Amino acid sequence: MTEPPRLRYIDCARGLFVLLMISSHALGIAQVPADSFLQSVLWLPKGWSTAGFVMLAGFSVGVMTIRGRPIPTRTLLVRASQLLLLMVVSNALFATGREMVYGDIGNLRDVEWFIDVMTLQRQTTISLVLLPIALGLVSICAIQPLSRHIAPVVLTAAIVVMNVLAWAAHDLLAAKAAADAATHWMFTSTIELHLLPQVSGATAGFALGLIWRSLADSIKIDSRVVGPVVLIALVVMAPIAAAAPRPVFLTADVIAQFLIILVLALSLAALPLLTGISNLAALLGRFSLMVFILHRVLLQTADLCARGFQMTPMPRYFFVVILCVGGSALVCSARTQSMPLHRAMRRLLM
């Protein structure tokens, strides 16, 4: 089966989210204190990658949608089911491996522990991304027919309103769960994963992708112009969003984060001076699903190594980041050089 043509700036954007994800996880592994420079706004942003991955998944579908010929519903549903299967299997394997590595094997004999893992009642970070993406793809299946009859701008406005309502519903559900134990038990995963706004974010990304595609069809997009225009618009809109109600602010915040990374990805893909960073980001982004899973293994490996060297938090952070990024890049590079390895990994990761 031939692979669909790749768009370098989307691979770069995905790779940038991978780097932010690794940085955020390394902060936790290294136990960097809250008052450290690495935790300040002057360092890499935290918390952008989760919503960014989900929105970028929808954006990619929107960009790849040919006017009048949407991606087949069956293709999206099959991919969603594959992601759900991968999520369940990987959560079980990683949770089991973590208990064995750290010597807490008592949980492996506890049926309730396994049930909690499989129903996302335990900390399983891979579900923060794969579950919303899978459900987002299902939601896009329902929205795609509308894209043939409604202008992209109108559709985007309607979906943004839906995203605001999703955040409002999430806040109401969280408040009710805080006061009602039964509600908390039933909707723990939905609340902790921010599932309603995350899934809605995937549809927002799809609508933005449609707008992007329509612009690309009508005019030649020059990243040297798009970047400053988008950034200026974000600066102008920031005070308005900050004064808005919480659901509106959160919706605007997530979209702004996504657009900043997208503009940065466009710049990386267009500027020769940044070729090295662009190549690394595109490589990690091309195989992001593999890196997404691989980095969890590398994180635990780095943690065990760092404990042996008794590193302080800051050196430990950089050690974890370098090992995760370098190890992931080496495996990705090997995959590009070996077709048998590439085919094997495609079958393994569906």
Predicted confidence at residue 338, as pLDDT, reads 84
Residue 128 has pLDDT above 60, yes or no: yes
Residue 9 vs residue 189, higher pLDDT? 9
Among 8-12, 62-66, 154-158, 221-225, name the one with the lowest average pLDDT. Answer: 221-225
Residue 227 has pLDDT above 50, yes or no: yes
Do 193 and 54 meet the contact criterion of CB atoms below 8 Å apart? no
Tokens linked to 297: 């293994």
3-state secondary structure of 69: strand
Q: At what angle do helices 195-218 and 127-147 cross, to 10 degrees?
A: 50
Tokens linked to 30: 């290294």
Closest listed residue to residue 126, CA positions, set 163, 166, 98: 98
CA atoms within 13 A on the CB side of 94: 25
Position 181 confidence tier, pLDDT thresholds 50, 70, 90: low
Among 129-133, 265-269, 287-291, name the one with the lowest average pLDDT. Answer: 265-269
Do 265 and 281 meet the contact criterion of CB atoms below 8 Å apart? yes
Residue 136 vs residue 234, higher pLDDT? 136
Q: What is the dihedral of CA 300, 303, 307, 310, to 10 degrees?
A: 170
Per DSSP (E only), the strands in the chain are none
Percent above pLDDT 90 for the chain: 18
Predicted confidence at residue 246, as pLDDT, reads 84
Closest listed residue to residue 53, CA positions, set 24, 75, 85: 24
Predicted confidence at residue 126, as pLDDT, reads 64
The residue type at 63? V
Mean pLDDT to the nearest integer, 119-137 = 73
Position 1 confidence tier, pLDDT thresholds 50, 70, 90: very low
Predicted confidence at residue 106, as pLDDT, reads 59
The residue type at 75? T
Predicted confidence at residue 249, as pLDDT, reads 84
CA atoms within 13 A on the CB side of 113: 11
Position 231 confidence tier, pLDDT thresholds 50, 70, 90: low
Summarize pLDDT for 14-31 with one digit per residue, the tens: 999 999 999 998 998 888
Summarize pLDDT for 83-101 with one digit per residue, the tens: 888 887 777 777 676 666 6
Q: What is the spatial distance between Cα 125 and Cα 50, in angstroms, rounded to a whole number?
A: 10
Across 143-152, 184-193, 220-229, the highest mean pLDDT is recorded for 143-152
Position 188 confidence tier, pLDDT thresholds 50, 70, 90: low
Q: What is the spatial distance between Cα 79 and Cα 82, in angstroms, rounded to a whole number?
A: 5
Residue 328 vs residue 151, higher pLDDT? 328
Predicted confidence at residue 284, as pLDDT, reads 92
The residue type at 277? I
Predicted confidence at residue 256, as pLDDT, reads 86
Total residues found in the chain within this entry: 350
* Residues sharing a CB contact under 8 Å with residue 207, sequence separation 6 or more, in sequence order: 58, 62, 143, 152, 155, 156, 159, 160
Average pLDDT score, the chain: 79
Mean pLDDT to the nearest integer, 167-172 = 85
Summarize pLDDT for 247-277 with one digit per residue, the tens: 888 888 888 889 888 888 888 877 776 788 8
Do 167 and 247 meet the contact criterion of CB atoms below 8 Å apart? yes
Do 137 and 76 meet the contact criterion of CB atoms below 8 Å apart? yes
Predicted confidence at residue 20, as pLDDT, reads 93
177-183 long-range CB contacts below 8 Å, 24 or more apart? none
DSSP track, 167-202: HHHHHHHHHHHHH-HHHHHHHHHHHHTTHHHHHHHH
